Amino acid sequence: MSTHDNLPKADGNEENKAKTVDENSANQITEAPISQESQDNSSEENTEEEKVSTDIVSTEESSTEENTVPEETNNTEVVSESDNEILNEMDEAVAKDSEDESKLERHDIEKKDYHAMSKEELISELRHLVKSEKIQAIKEHVEEIKTEFNAKFNEEVEQKKDEFLADGGNIIDFYYSTPLKKEFNSVYFDYKEKRNAYYQNLKKDLQVNLQKRLDIIEELKGLLNVEENINTTYNHFKDIKERWHNAGPIPRDKYNTVWNTYHHHTENFYDFLHLNRDFRDLDFKHNLEQKLKIIERATELAQETDVNRAFRELQILHKMWKEDLGPVAKEYREPIWEKFSALTKKIHENRQDFFKIQDKVYEKNLEVKQEIIAKIITVASEHPKNHGGWQQKIKEIEALREEFFQAGKVPPNSNEETWSQFKSAVRDFNRNKNAFYKGLKKDQFENLNKKMELIKIAEDNKDSDDFSVTTPLMKKIQADWKKIGHVPRKDSDRIWKRFKDACNSYFDRIHAEKNEANKEEIVSYEKKLAHIESLKELKLSGDPEADLNTIKENINIWKSLGRVPYKKRNIESDYNKVLDGFFEKLNLSRQQIEMIKYENKLSSLANQSDDRALRNEQNFIRKKIDEVHGEIRQLENNLQFFKHADDNNPLVIEVKKNIGKHKENLQVWKNKLKKIKEL
């Protein structure tokens, strides 16, 4: 049977077996996940925290046993080198947290996408962190914000420098600052002031607490030489323990030595109590029960799936074992420490196994992020020639950025390099994009000058009365205006209003002139409306020849009424419908009717101001003649398929009927062409 099997059981039922652990650690264990950096065996230290440890000069170094007292593990069997490393790591973690107990109250702070923020947003975020978060917990956030702000500001400085030099300035005379830069410097100065004050106070407090504990150790050593009632001495010892527990954190480089010295003299005092075994055994029993409860809790933590949570609570258990509890009876000291050390190793191994799995995940994430960075570099190497192309590229980059942030964590040793590569790739894209829009801005100013020249032409000619010359000019500058690209947005509405007002002023005058000229056409329109109404009352005599003469006389009257406004030209169709009603009552062929109506149409076309209408009509008729010729040829070809068919075949009859209709139409179009040629 091993020594471990002889360990007594902790008092209390299963439900309360870790009561002491819970009472001491309830306010210390947090559920926040451990940071990526803390996954290494030793976390990177804050520069200010290092200064707190290294700047402290040890008080009076003693050559006595205080500086050479072995740790509790030295009372055990020889342990392996790897086990010692694990225990040393745990001691270092406890020492680190003990130096700055405020770490127990810290919480994870969300790290936002500072690269995507504007300078205004970066200042706002920095101000929020300095005002609302613990100053010792925001260093990484502040430094990243500072890096991003300076990068954006330096890019702006370079742009202003280029403009300054392009305008003929001397580089020696160049200076650039903004209210935003001054505001950022002010907030960052506040951060440094609060940070320095915090670490100066912490350094001072650690020194004071160290001296308190050294004084308490001296007082504890003196208990062995006092001559007083054992009860009084024991009460004095209990008071020392209470003051020791509340003495506060000390520098981590003194932590193990001071604590081991204290425990050494505590054990000496318990050995001194052999004169009164009741006091000693009572304390030994209490300490053993509490340490057994810690072991039981550590046993549970060895089965915990959340290895980071288990490790954080294990640190608290070690601190309680070392700081809050005294020694146990000698026969139990080695077995219980071996048991606790073995559980510590098990929890550490669980954590390392978890990290190995995580490392594989992080390596895969690294590959994904490297691929995304390569895609960003590819997109950044392409330089679109227009605004639309750049907007599409911006959407692609935004999508890739989102993929990058969703890809998960990478190995800690690759984190900084990957982040730097990502920012560099995105910044190269932004630099190219900004260069394009800077050039676009230059083009817009050139476009502004071109449009201002067109405005001058429009304003100079808006009052011209030479319509035949000015009208083509005004139409041309309107077409030129549309061909010129964008101008700066702040000028767009203003110059468009000037150009539009000048053009409208000119064309409104033309329209006014035309409206005056159209008065006669309006009168003609009203007369033709009246003529149509009078025709509705006309009664034919029944004599075809006399009625045809009557219709022709009315057509001549219609022709004499003059032109109507262009927008009212549909009145001709209304008039033809009335004529169709009369023609239906006469025994006239279709060709005769069409030609009578067509003569009326030709009269209207002949009254146009130029002969374009007549030329267009002639071209239209020629086209119709060609179309009808083609349709006749197609139908005659179709008849070849029925050459052996009977003439009474319905299909043959239908085709021949269609050929006849088309030939009749062809003759009508030919007569119209002949008539128009006679004009």
For 607, phi then psi, to 5°, come to -85, 0
Q: Are 216 and 240 in contact (CB under 8 A)?
A: yes
Residues 507 and 620 in one domain: no
Residues 488 and 613 in one domain: no
Residues 396 and 450 in one domain: no
Instruction: Report DSSP letters for 129-159, one per residue.
Output: HHHHS-GGG-HHHHHHHHHHHHHHHHHHHHH
What CA–CA distance (Å, rounded) separates 322 from 85? 18
In a domain, 214, yes or no: no
Q: Are 361 and 321 in contact (CB under 8 A)?
A: no
> What does the longest C-alpha to C-alpha distance in the chain come to?
163
Residues 214, 216, 218, CA angle at the centre, nearest 5°?
A: 70
Write down the pLDDT at residue 186. 93
Write down the pLDDT at residue 99. 61
Q: Is the dihedral of CA 29, 33, 38, 40 positive or negative?
A: positive
Write down the pLDDT at residue 372. 93
Q: Which residue has the tokens 């009808």?
A: 628
Each residue of 599-627: pLDDT tens digit? 767 766 666 655 677 777 778 888 888 88
Q: Are 308 and 33 in contact (CB under 8 A)?
A: yes
Among 410, 428, 456, which residue terminates a domain?
410
Please report, for residues 410, 460, 467, 509, 570, the alpha-carbon distance to residue 472 in angstroms, rounded to integers and kept in the order given.
69, 15, 8, 15, 29
In a domain, 650, yes or no: yes
In a domain, 161, yes or no: no
Q: Residue 62: which residues within 8 A CB-CB, separation 6 or more?
A: none
Residues 471 and 401 in one domain: no
Instruction: Report DSSP letters for 84-130, one per residue.
Output: HHHHHHHHHHHHHHHHTGGGGG--------GGGS-HHHHHHHHHHHH
Domain residues for the domain of 493 are 444-514
In a domain, 574, yes or no: no
DSSP count for the chain of H helices, then E strands: 21, 0
> Among residues 606, 591, 595, which one has the least CA distance to residue 661?
591
- From the CB of residue 611, how many other CB atoms can be counted at a distance below 10 Å? 12
Please report, for residues 501, 540, 587, 594, the alpha-carbon distance to residue 543 in angstroms, rounded to integers and kept in the order given.
64, 8, 10, 20
pTM of the model as a whole: 0.43
Q: Which residue has the tokens 């405020």?
A: 102
In a domain, 157, yes or no: no
Residues 281 and 400 in one domain: yes
What CA–CA distance (Å, rounded) separates 460 from 498? 12
Q: Are 149 and 122 in contact (CB under 8 A)?
A: yes
Half-sphere exposure of residue 570: CA atoms within 13 angstroms, side-chain side:
2
The DSSP symbol for 324 reads I
In a domain, 197, yes or no: no
Residues 353 and 402 in one domain: yes
Residues 461 and 404 in one domain: no
Residues 280 and 378 in one domain: yes
Write down the pLDDT at residue 547. 76
Q: Are 210 and 252 in contact (CB under 8 A)?
A: no
Residues 392 and 449 in one domain: no
Q: Are 125 and 112 in contact (CB under 8 A)?
A: yes
Among 496, 514, 532, which residue terminates a domain?
514
In a domain, 335, yes or no: yes
Altogether, the residues listed in the chain come to a count of: 679
Q: How many Å is the Cα radius of gyration of the chain?
A: 51
Residues 371 and 286 in one domain: yes
What CA–CA distance (Å, rounded) separates 350 from 366? 24
- From the CB of residue 80, how many other CB atoms can be counted at a distance below 10 Å? 9
Among 486, 514, 542, which residue terminates a domain?
514
Six-digit token pair at 12? 């209390």
Number of domains in the chain: 3
Each residue of 61-90: pLDDT tens digit? 333 333 333 333 333 334 456 666 776 766
Please report, for residues 163, 479, 484, 485, 492, the alpha-carbon distance to residue 449 in angstroms, rounded to integers and kept in the order given.
20, 16, 10, 11, 12
> Among residues 176, 177, 183, which one has the least CA distance to residue 126?
183
pLDDT means over runs of 10, the chain (679 residues): 51 41 38 33 40 35 33 41 67 63 57 81 92 87 89 79 71 87 92 89 88 90 77 84 85 84 84 68 87 93 89 87 82 90 90 86 91 92 84 89 84 84 85 78 80 89 84 90 83 88 87 73 84 81 77 80 78 81 72 71 64 77 84 80 71 79 81 75
Residues 404 and 468 in one domain: no
Task: Give the dihedral of Cα atoms 523, 529, 534, 536; nearest 10 deg.
Answer: 170
Instruction: Classify residue 542 as left (phi > 0), alpha (psi -120 to 50) or beta.
Output: left
Residues 394 and 474 in one domain: no
Write down the pLDDT at residue 102. 55
In a domain, 554, yes or no: no
What CA–CA distance (Å, rounded) separates 597 from 364? 87
Half-sphere exposure of residue 206: CA atoms within 13 angstroms, side-chain side:
31
What CA–CA distance (Å, rounded) separates 11 from 535? 125
In 226-343, the DSSP E strands lie at: none
Instruction: Report H helices in 133-251.
Output: 139-166, 179-222, 230-245
